[in-house]
Amino acid sequence: MDNGTREELLSRLAEAVGSVTIAHPTRVAVDGPPAAGKTTLADELAVVLRAQGREVIRATIEDFLTPRSQRYRRGEDSAEGCYHDSFDFEALHRVLLDPLGPAGDRRFQQAVYDRDTDTALSQPVTTAPADAVLLFDGVFLLRPELIDQWDLRIFVSAAFEKTLDRARTRDQTVFRSATEVERRYRSRYIPSQQFYFDTTRPTDHADIIVHNDEPHLPAWETRPR
């Protein structure tokens, strides 16, 4: 395991992206529990890669949610529903992962759903250059439905209690107290992650594991593919 500064971590991740030699865009998964720091890491890595001249497509699993009626059909606190009902994998494959894959035409859309309005999106189709990089963050990205779609797999790890501390601040709104955020995490999000770990063992499938309990002093380990 390596330890270093945030800049050293980002340099190592950019190097890993650059080492992927394929004839189509490089599809990078940035997986990990809620509030582990996936989105921040992917955004920071995008800055580094763009400075190196790579075209970066930033996308997130949050833009491939199913409608509320399906997402919460087992109840808003259901951990089982969180894992099984939350995401439209068919659309994710069809409009983004397959087009950027080895048999794709590189004509993609990076979102199909607007969470704020609970409505479908119809984005214009964009064509990616062959050397583009897709940085895709989200939960459950190394599950069986998606595991073979990634050219590089990063898992951002943080202790559940650490992510809960972050979520109390991040997810608190005028409509949701810190107590309600914690209740939701303990009933829905953390148990669904525990199920994911028990059934899928995502860290076994990751190329790089980033230990992000202390974001300014990260540690990381590289796994042989």
Query: Going along 71-170, which residue ranges are E strands?
Result: 107-108, 113-114, 119-120, 126-127, 133-137, 152-157
158 near 32, Cβ under 8 Å? yes
Average pLDDT on 52-57 reads 98
Structure tokens at 172: 């608190």
The reported pLDDT for the residue numbered 175 is: 57
3-state SS, residue 223: coil
pTM of the model: 0.94
With a cut of 90, say whether residue 103 has pLDDT above it: yes
Structure tokens at 28: 């990078």
Average pLDDT on 47-66 reads 98
Which residues, listed in sequence order, are joined to residue 75 by a DSSP beta bridge? none
Average pLDDT on 122-135 reads 96
3-state SS, residue 93: helix
Q: What angle do CA 5, 8, 59 make, to 5 degrees?
A: 105
Average pLDDT on 12-17 reads 98
Sign of the CA dihedral running 118, 40, 111, 86: negative
Edge-first strand listing for the sheet containing 219-222: 2-3, 219-222, 208-211, 152-157, 26-31, 133-137, 56-60
Torsion of CA 187, 190, 192, 196, to 10 degrees: -160
With a cut of 60, say whether residue 205 has pLDDT above it: yes
Structure tokens at 101: 């894959």
Tell me the C-alpha distance between 123 and 127, whole Å: 13
- Delineate the domains of the chain, giving CATH numbers in brackets: 2-222 (3.40.50.300)
